[in-house]
Amino acid sequence: MATVKLGFIVKSLPYKTEASRLALTHAIASQTVEIYLEDGDMVEPVVAFIGDGVLNCLKNQKAMNMYGVTSLEQHLKNSLLLDMRVLICKEDMEKLGLSEDALIMDAEDIGGETKANIAPFSEIMKEMDSTNHLLFF
Amino acid sequence: MATVKLGFIVKSLPYKTEASRLALTHAIASQTVEIYLEDGDMVEPVVAFIGDGVLNCLKNQKAMNMYGVTSLEQHLKNSLLLDMRVLICKEDMEKLGLSEDALIMDAEDIGGETKANIAPFSEIMKEMDSTNHLLFF
Amino acid sequence: MRLGVIVSDFRNMDETLSRLKADKLGVIFVSNGVYHTATKEGGKKSPLLEKSPNMYVLTEDLQSRGFSEVQIDSRVKPVTYSDLVDVIFNDYDKTIWI
Amino acid sequence: MRLGVIVSDFRNMDETLSRLKADKLGVIFVSNGVYHTATKEGGKKSPLLEKSPNMYVLTEDLQSRGFSEVQIDSRVKPVTYSDLVDVIFNDYDKTIWI
Amino acid sequence: MGKLTIGVFSSLVGSLSLDFAVKLADAAIKKGHKVDMWVSGNATMLSKKGQRAFKDYSALEKKLHEMFASGSFQATACEACAEARGFHKEDTMEGWKRHSMDWYLASTFSADRVLHIGGD
Amino acid sequence: MGKLTIGVFSSLVGSLSLDFAVKLADAAIKKGHKVDMWVSGNATMLSKKGQRAFKDYSALEKKLHEMFASGSFQATACEACAEARGFHKEDTMEGWKRHSMDWYLASTFSADRVLHIGGD
């Protein structure tokens, strides 16, 4: 019985590359990883947005209407619906002039109960310290 | 009877992406373009390295020995062998501390007669002005 | 030369853009370039907005990323793909993608 | 945490690298990251060379780009792919690619 | 009405740069222009047939078929770039041609405007 | 001896990031480690069979076959990412498996070290 904690750290902007999308889809895949593991073993993802990566968290992304692709907004809501721990870097939000109102902080509209956390980088660094492995996107 | 002049402007570093390699292979393809054109019509390429792109022009690239891929050095020599006009931005060389000695300035070792030109950006800008179309890599 | 420059990313665009000289220079923000038109960094607007009096932003890319036209700098003109075709054919002799 | 950071590019690396805190921080220059070890810009060495006392550069990537080991900053240790495997397994708990 | 040649180089499936190229080409055709499209490097992936539509990826095949049907659109993939990636002639989406790089240069010869989309 | 899991994401054929991953994996195997490799996004191109060797591209297929033959190497491509690009089961290079994304996470569970190569 063990839990391996993985840190998915997103510093890339959305859409130009697939990096941030793949971070979330892989983190979400933790839901089905047990089929490969012994009973009781699990993989626990934590997702943190840092640097320009915080721009993935903006509300009202119309990528589906404009380009027919799932928005990062939708992926982030799906992550929160699954009660994933999501951190958004406070200093980077402030640097880019983003208020909490502008960001996706919950998935209430699709029935989610978990909220995203705005956290200073020092807390994100502690979270990284506590993981078994770190994956930067 | 017309000549269309194309400017291939290389600002990307080599190897991480294919951009600079594709600039030179496409410029070299001007040699065979007549098969598609009327007699006397031609496409004339000029290649300019600017910004970090000047690092494509360093001598002694061992990409073939290390990774089994043709080096940008070889592509650049092939371009000079075909008497292509090649410009290297003087200000960017100076900024990155590169001397003429460090750069591929000719293809004499494979029988080439044309030399690369170190030119201030203002001259490269004039060259760009004189092209029919500009392609940035 | 009338030169249209398509700015396709948020970082490392200024060095190339600042050096280009043209009788008429246009700047067209697309892809992640749209962040220049709608975000501030450290309270300041993007220095790219000072480079030209002729600026455009692709509305499809703006909206995909969560912005609406009311949020962009007033000097920047929102354009659709259809408008952009006219900009390329009518307003500039050459268009480059950086 | 002993953290190894693989720096894989020349531009935009400092912002991420500078924020990372670890009991032991290592910096491994690969791909276009090797330019940090062998070029100067405006006469100055890369600020990344000040970030850690534990620095490595992948010789295969250095040589591919036209540099030899004598040209690199003396604080940086040249390593092969084989050495890098040992660095990852023995010297750091986690290794990230930026 | 004019001719626009669009070259798409290292842009990727999963980025929106290929989408940009296709949407711009489509808008130009709808305005009565002719469009040539050249894909090289990793962008040759656009010419691969049998791409399955997923919601995480824009599906460009249907749009491309419409554009081919307009009679104002040609699209050609770099043959060597495709072969290097294991895309052979029989893997090519209907409507696409494959040529060597000189095709792109020849297309620019008669183009009124060229948009070269480089980048990653 | 340990286990290294390498994930390669958006890296491209024609860049040297895939080469980096393969060379590092090979060096680890030669030192007696076990290596799992996961390719996702555009990196799934690495698992495509029938890639023709050109001098402008490193030919990785032969090296991969040697690594599979070592018995210490597994390589798996993201199934959905491959299908979206038109790479189907029958297009997959010998030795490669295809799974959903949870395979990568499961591989990290028992890994001593994980190297995730993201970027473009």
pLDDT by residue (tens digit) across D64-92? Answer: 999 999 999 999 999 999 999 999 999 99
DSSP character string of B23-58: HHHHHHGGGGGGGGS-TT-EEEEEEEE-GGGGGGGB
Q: Give the mutation candidate from F10, F11, F13 for the E interface (greatest E CB count, under 10 A).
A: F13
**Whether A16 contacts chain D with CB within 8 A:** no
DSSP character string of chain A: --EEEEEEEE-SPSSSSSHHHHHHHHHHGGGGGGGGS-TT-EEEEEEEE-GGGGGGGBS---HHHHHSS--HHHHHHHHHHTT-EEEEEHHHHHHTT--GGGB--B-GGGT---B-EEE-HHHHHHHHHTSSEEEE-
Q: Tell me, what CATH number does B87's domain have?
A: 3.40.1260.10
What is the four-CA torsion angle of E27, E32, E33, E34, rounded to 10 degrees?
A: 100
Residues sharing a CB contact under 8 Å with residue D1, sequence separation 6 or more, in sequence order: A128, A129, D22, D23, D93, D94
**E61-69 and E17-30 helices cross at what angle (nearest 10)?**
30
Q: Which residues of chain B have pLDDT under 70?
A: none
- Which of C61, C84, C89 is facing E2, going by the closest CB pair? C89
Q: How far is CA E44 from the centre of its chain?
A: 8
Q: What is the ipTM of this complex?
A: 0.97
**Whether F31 contacts chain D with CB within 8 A:** yes
Query: How many domains does chain A fold into?
Result: 1
How far is the alpha carbon of C11 from chain B, nearest alpha carbon, in Å? 14
Instruction: Count interface pairs B-D at CB distance under 8 A.
Output: 53
Mean per-residue pLDDT for C87-98?
A: 98
Q: Which residues of chain E have pLDDT under 50?
A: none
Could you give all domains of chain C from N- to C-terminal order, each with its CATH number? 2-97 (3.40.1260.10)
Q: Quick count: other Cβ atoms within 10 Å of Cβ A83?
A: 11
pLDDT attached to residue C23: 98
| Each residue's pLDDT tens digit, A25-71 | 999 999 999 999 999 999 999 999 999 999 999 999 999 999 999 99
Share of chain B above pLDDT 70, in %: 100
* Residue A86 · residue A105 · CB < 8 Å: no
**Whether D44 contacts chain B with CB within 8 A:** no
pLDDT in tens, chain D (98 residues): 999 999 999 999 999 999 999 999 999 999 999 999 999 999 999 999 999 999 999 999 999 999 999 999 999 999 999 999 999 999 999 999 99
pLDDT attached to residue E13: 85
Q: Which chains touch E (3 or more CB pairs under 8 A)?
A: A, B, C, F
* Residue D90 · residue D2 · CB < 8 Å: no
Q: Do chains E and D touch (3 or more CB pairs under 8 A)?
A: no
Q: Which residues partner with F8 through β-bridges?
A: F39, F117
- Which of D10, D11, D66 is facing B59, going by the closest CB pair? D66
Could you give all domains of chain F from N- to C-terminal order, each with its CATH number? 3-118 (3.40.1260.10)
**Whether F120 contacts chain B with CB within 8 A:** yes
Structure token pair of residue F87: 């790479």
**Which 3 state secondary structure label does DSSP give D19?**
helix
Q: Which residues partner with A103 through β-bridges?
A: A58
pLDDT attached to residue A27: 98
**Whether B131 contacts chain C with CB within 8 A:** yes
**CA-closest candidate to residue D37, choices D67, D73, D1:** D73
Position E36, amino acid: D
CB contact residues (below 8 A), chain E span 68-107, against chain B? 100-106
Mark out chain D residues that contact chain F at CB-CB < 8 A.
6, 8-9, 30-31, 60-61, 64, 80-82, 84-86, 88-89, 94-97
Q: Determine the structural domain holding residue B17 and report its residue range.
A: 3-136
**CA-closest candidate to residue D84, choices B56, F39, F113:** F113
Q: Which residues of chain F have pLDDT under 50?
A: none
